[in-house]
Each structure stands twice: as structure tokens, then as C-alpha cells.
A and B are shown apart, each in its own frame.
Chain A
Amino acid sequence: MFAQEFMRNALVTGTFVGLACGLVGYFVVLRAQVFAGDALSHIAFTGALGAAVIGLDIRTGLFAATILGGVTLGALGERARADDVVIGSFFAWTLGLGVLFLSIFTTKSSAGNGTAGVRVLFGSIFGLSTTDVRVSVVLALVACALLLAIARPLLFASLDTAVAAAQGVPVRALGVGFLAIVGLVAAQATQAVGALLLLGLLAAPAGAAHRLTTSPFRGLLLSAALAVGSVWAGLTLSYAFPTLPPSSMIVAAAVGAYLLAEVLTSGLGRSGAAGRTG
């Protein structure tokens, strides 16, 4: 399995994308911004196809759209916690725009590029070039570094916004900056699992980590480990059974981990008589 170049590329990229998704996802879940992650995935689709229509590199459009989208969401929502209706309406519209681009793109280049839409929606981790790998690794590390740099104040601001603001933590700027990082990671994950499934990689490992531990440090580690583990499991499964697409296997592994965590914790809660709620 490691002898194949496409498989090595997929594993290296997937590892770093998983790492970034796990770390960022932990805060996404903590801040109850899962819906924002979903919106960013739709913006990713539109950005990628918009770039394709005007003849730019798909990846450029992807990153520009998701980072801008993150900043916009942060600025729109009150106290940088964008509310559901704004995000929902906004992402429905961006997806509509994406459909327009898709239709322009497929009519314009009738020669064989009809799969662009499907590739963006469901990812193409087995089709990465060496340059793709290098870019993804560097960007994923940048995202992780940025997140860890703001992790402490962000944690404070997420847990108790009012007290953090009173202590002089720039709550609003942190919120906007955080969503920009989520945008960066969403663009990365789009390449690995596709725009439709990236939410799974962003939210499921983090959700499992939140069920298993309340300590933020251990939670972050666990979330990252589960995300990377899901990527590895998904890629291995897909390699062993070529009919199974890698993106859905990765997300299936992540969701499986979440379900397992859910069952384990509820089982523990029942057997251990200590009144653990939530």
C-alpha cells in the first residue's frame, strides 16, 4: 500500500488535513459553530467552481472563498457568533451561485471536464500531485500554528464571552480570526473529503472528544488523534476495497468514532452512579 505514490500522497496530505481539522473542529464544537463549518463547506464549492469559470486555479478560488467567507460570517453574526438564519440563508445563496458557475463551466468546456463539480463536492484525495501534497502540508501546519497561538484566549472567550471581554480579551477579533482559520482548514479538507463531507471530519472527531473528556488540552489532543485516525482508517479501507470511495470511508470512520464515544459515555454514565449529565 505504501509502494503506490498516490497512496503515499493521500496518506501524508490526509494526516495533516486530519490534524488541522481535529484541532480546529474542537473549537468549532466548543463554540457551537458547527453550522458555520457547514456554510463554509458550501462556500468552498462555489469558490472553487467560480475560479474554474474565470479560468483560475481551482485551489486559489477555494482558499480565497472560504477565508473570505469565514471573515464575513464572523463580521455578520452578532458578537462574531453568526446566527443560524443568517448563515443558512447566506449559504443557500452561495450554493445557488455555485450551481450557476457549475452550469457555466460545464457548458463552456464540454470537452471532458464535466466531473469538476463532483470532484469538488466529494473530494479527490487519490488524485493529488506532489505539489498538492507540499502545499497542503504547509497550509495545514500554518493553520495549526495560528490556532495554537490564539488557543488560550480563544478558549477563554469561547467558555465565558462576557468575562473574557471584561478582562480585555479582544473577543470579537478572536471570533473573526478563528472563523478565518476555519475557512483555511475547510479549503484543505475540501480537497481530501470534498465540500459535502468536510463537516464530518470537522465535527465528528471533535464531538467525540467533547464526549470523552472535559479537559481542553486532552480534548484537543484526542480530537486531532481521532481525526487523523479516521483519515488513516478511511484511506486503508478504500485502498483495500477499491469500490469504496475514500471520502465517504473517512467520514464513516469519523462518525463511527463519534457513535462509539456516545455509546461508551452513556454506558459509563449509567453504570457509574455518579450523576454525570450531558
Chain B
Amino acid sequence: MLNGLDSLLFGTFLGITSRQVTVLLVVATAAVLLVVVAARPLFFSSVDAEVARAGGVPVGLLGFAFLLVLGLSVAETSQITGALLVFALLVTPAATAHQLTSRPGLGIALSVGIALAVTWLGLALAYFSLYPVGFYVTSLSFAVYVVVRLIRVARRRTTAFVAEPA
């Protein structure tokens, strides 16, 4: 088991009070709502900031609001994975989704789905073993990313082979 500092850095799922659960739930809902409300202009300004600005989208304000939501999410995530392992839930599932699809809606759904699956499985594994949840969550999410990446590389190679003789 990890002591105080280590569990702050690497996460723990023990001793989260129901009060904390409420707070986390409220914050998470607010963050999700903000992203959903701003989703379309945010997507526009991320893909092409110049055109979005010309189209009257408040790019600067959106960027600021997005960083705010990002901050909220990081604080939320560090409750589970610890401050040092936030990346595993924040970036890796999204990177996997980007590998799988270029369609934004599907990508977001996939990213959320992977993150949820990884967290639930990680919590279950940590419950039935001695080892910290941060380890399981990071390993699972990295494993998914690696598998997807390998499949893509393999597929690209086979299509290249097909295309070459012609």
C-alpha cells in the first residue's frame, strides 16, 4: 500500500467519502456540459482557427474556456490516477480514438468509452489485488493504444502490398 504523498502522486481509490463523490460528480457534470455546449464552435476553432475567427467564432475566449475545463478534468482525474498519471486517462484514450477514426462524433464516443472501460477494469483489478489502481489504469490504456497502433501499421502494410503491383 502507498503512503500519503505517494497516493497523492499516484492515486488511490480508498477513502473517497460520499461527500467527495458528490463534489466530483458535480464538477464532472459541469465540465461535460461546458464541452457539450461549446462543442461545435470549439471543434471549428480547433480544426481551423483562422476561418473560425473570420466566421465570428470567439476563438480566444473558447481557448481560455477550454483550458479551464481541462484544468477541472485534470483535478478530477488526479483523484483516481494521482497527479502524475493524469495523462493515462486524459490523453491516451483520446489518442487511441484519433487512430481509429477521423470523425469527431464517433471519436469522442470512442475516447469516452475507452476511458470508462479502462477505469472500471482498473478499479476492479485493483480491488482484487494488492497493487495500486494507477498502475492498472495506465497499463490498460497504454495497451489499448499500442494494440490499435499496431493494427493500423499492419493494415497499412497489407494495403501497401496490394497497391504496389499495379
Contact = CB atoms under 8 A, between A and B. Distances in A.
Contact of A90 (B10, B84, B85, B142): B142
Contacts of A104: 131
Contact of B87 (A91, A117, A121): A91
B147 interface: no
Interface stretch (A95-103, A125-133, A144-152, A239-247): A95-103
Q: Is the interface of A mostly helix, strand, loop or mixed?
A: helix
B95 A89 contact: yes
Contacts of B139: 93, 96-97
B10 to A, nearest CB: 4
A92 B2 contact: no
B91 A121 contact: no
B145 to A, nearest CB: 5
Interface of A: 42, 85, 88-93, 95-97, 99-100, 102-104, 106-107, 114, 117-118, 121
Given A89-B142, A89-B145, A102-B2, 17 more contacts: A85-B91, A88-B95, A89-B87, A89-B92, A89-B141, A92-B138, A93-B88, A93-B139, A95-B85, A95-B134, A97-B138, A97-B139, A99-B82, A99-B138, A102-B6, A106-B1, A106-B6
21 contacts: A89-B91, A89-B92, A92-B138, A92-B141, A93-B88, A93-B138, A93-B141, A95-B85, A96-B85, A96-B134, A96-B135, A96-B136, A96-B138, A97-B138, A100-B132, A102-B2, A102-B10, A103-B131, A104-B131, A118-B5, A118-B6
